[in-house]
Structure 1
Amino acid sequence: MIIKELYVISKAGLCRFHYKASFSDYDIDETLFAGFIAALQNFTDSMAKVQIEYLAMSEDQIHLVSVSDIIIVAIMSITGAEQKIIDQLLTFIGKKFVDNYQKYLDRPNFQWDTIVENFTKQIEFIWADKEVYEEAKRGLITELFDKVIRKQISPEILQWKITSLFINSPQNEIVKTIDKVQKLHVMVSRLITDPILESEINESFNKSIDDLSKALPKKRRFLIVYCEDSIMYDIIFNKALGMNFFCIPVRSLTDIGGIVYNWSEESPYSILYLANTVSEEDLQTLGQYSTPEKRTYLWLEEIPTFAINYRLKHASIVIVKQKPEFIDIIQEVLKEKDIKSEKTSSDSESAILQTSE
């Protein structure tokens, strides 16, 4: 989202704040512009069924949002961004302005130019930091999912929205989005009672994941992660992302089986199983999902004797030391014998790990 100019205008038509980007080529009379915007907003407020989302110009758009007694106006380049996201970000700016300067709005002699530098520093990250914008977009996925459940929109619209919103995002943001979709995906069976709708939503999510995955580099490392601690999973996901690993969260061994049996990626996967302990039955199931090239790594608080014995007979199961640092797991996964398709030498791998630390 590229904002060229930003205004805070009172309902009385007075400009209280004006930000102009260095690359903006507009030369706007603040007084005339503020009066025009206030008149336009007051007109739409008087007509219940009229709402102006934005004004289109030849190359840019003017977006406006009312917050309390002020109007937030942004002149921005046309990006195809979702209108609701723009409204949310402008509303955030408006609320921050009201929180800081509400008490000065009725003071006729207040020097508004004195707040420009300070307020700009408070809000500039919103359009300067792409992560803020991408996170705002991801927030829409849950809302869209809820609308599908309520049958307000179709699963096809859900899939199209997810793909179109993120297909051109930075790669690390695409990975975060896929993770978000995966987490919602595993919730479908618990939230939907209609088998037809459940199937359609699953297909929609799978299509979105597939479309977004195609925008990522071909050579990726995948970690199918079973983790009982959601906070720990988030830590693993964020650290793995920085090391070019893509985590796929699962809630059960059944989920792991579904992923493994339908695996179509050229890249190998590894399974991380993080739990207090593991039952003998679950260990045998994990063994069925594992091969010498696609190993399972057990990170357990309590290691039962049968797990140690099983490990001695099956090279596809690796028991990581109890309560290891995350880097210890990655060192295991990155071993050349575990990912045979990797041509990187062990020295190069060590350099990568040291850099990541």
Structure 2
Amino acid sequence: MRRVIAIGFEGSANKLGIGIIQHDYLDFPSTKTPGKILVPNQAQVLANVRDTYNPPPGQGFLPKDVAIHHRACILKVLKDALSEANLSPKDIDAVCFTKGPGMGAPLQCVAVVARTLAQLWGKPLVEVNHCVAHIEMGRMITGANNPVVLYVSGGNTQIFGETLDIAVGNCLDRFARILMLPNDPSPGYNIEQMAKLGKNYIDLPYTVKGMDVSFSGILSYIEQLVKESKQGKNNYSKEDLCFSLQETMFAMLVEITERAMAHVGSQEVLIVGGVGCNERLQQMMEIMASERGGTVFATDERFCIDNGIMVAQAGALAFAHGASTPISESWVTQRFRTDHVLVEWRE
């Protein structure tokens, strides 16, 4: 048995997270190549600490402001994570960081800290794709075997296809700004709570193109409805608008998920990403999956919303299979597609 303890640094957007995970691996003979392979046996979350930058209502978060927040908080978050795990740097086997995708300035400042600590502590550095980290976290927590994965967050909307313009989370965030809803704890959460009070469905644009979706049109349309409401040209309430926006966008996501399940013959759906903890999205997905005799797997906000433990998880899997990142190659990138990652730890 081999034990790996990894620390993960996540800061691709407005959430700064540091997590520590312990993996126990069993050695098995390899059926493909001579020697042994490592198979995950047990994983334990030792620490999962997070701090969020929240701008005033009606405002989004600018990369430079997010980076300032991350720089100000990261050492305290690090100390809290080590304290929660009851570990010292000598106990860490690998330092993992988000390479991308994400916002440039926040990614850079967190990578600098991870890079520095790896050298100070004398530990290997492991780069992690943010999207793959979400997926691996969801698989570990839920125990999903080989699911169709719906990844929905502020910056990404991916399944078998993807968004053609803005991500579903970005659409929700921007609509929250139009309504001047608070950013604390998150714009999407506040829309979700307001949507629960909505009773009247308002027809909105519905754009599904094969396995792809588009959200920019629905955002422009509903923004115009808000302007007309302020001018007295309609009497749509904020609650009904939030309700209608969620129902329409989530129906689009359910449709492409069902099509993906049929295409690959899967009976499992795993929802990951910050929007994935929306209870209404989970409910709608469960209705669809149950009609097909399938199962939906989802997590709560501890593991759905951006966090450091998901980076530690994906990094630990990669590190146990020989991955490491030279300091000279530890740059970050705002664009880093999920399908550009070689996932060597899975068959």
Which of 1 and 2 has greater Rg?
A: 1
Same fold (TM over 0.5): no
TM-score, structure 1 normalization: 0.23
